[in-house]
Copies of this chain bind each other. A is one copy, B any other.
């Protein structure tokens, strides 16, 4: 049994890392396998020994992105117990993501933009979106808001807006704008207008 944590990383791992770097920063179609194997410092044969082809490499790249992001978001959520705080935590995690110097938008939005309807990218994006929706729907149902579905839809829209704006304008502050708007919504639909008025006065 090899000990992967002690030995030099395996060819498959290095390929996956290289794919993650290059596909994310330059786009999937733009980067050829020659670029990937060069960046991984690996022979071409190793790619086709570890994967069936580029499609599988792309699929695993997106799957890993999904997994790592889901971990990060749930970690941010689980640091809080208050339903409202748990919702807002998502936008704080977004803020930490946007602050990364290599941020180049959502991997799944970018993949969708250059993907054919039935491609590996499209399918990965679909499952990712399903995760996003159940995430916010779960968070929204644990709130005293009127309609959890409508609240979740709005929170998803704020999530997408923050992601898109931060990418297009290179403004990490978009996360704070989304959070502020989310707070405003939670204040106004979570509690009735009359109650909000009472607190304001």
Give A contacts to B, CB under 8 Å.
Answer: 26-27, 29-30, 105, 108-116, 125, 129, 133, 150, 153-154, 156-165, 167-169, 173-174, 177-178, 180-181, 184-185, 188, 193-194, 196-197, 200-201
Contact = CB atoms under 8 A, between A and B. Distances in A.
B116 A114 contact: no
Given A109-B167, A153-B174, A157-B158, 16 more contacts: A27-B29, A30-B116, A110-B113, A111-B113, A112-B167, A112-B168, A113-B113, A114-B114, A156-B165, A157-B181, A160-B161, A161-B161, A181-B181, A184-B185, A197-B197, A197-B200
- Main secondary structure, interface of A, reads helix
A185 B183 CA distance: 11
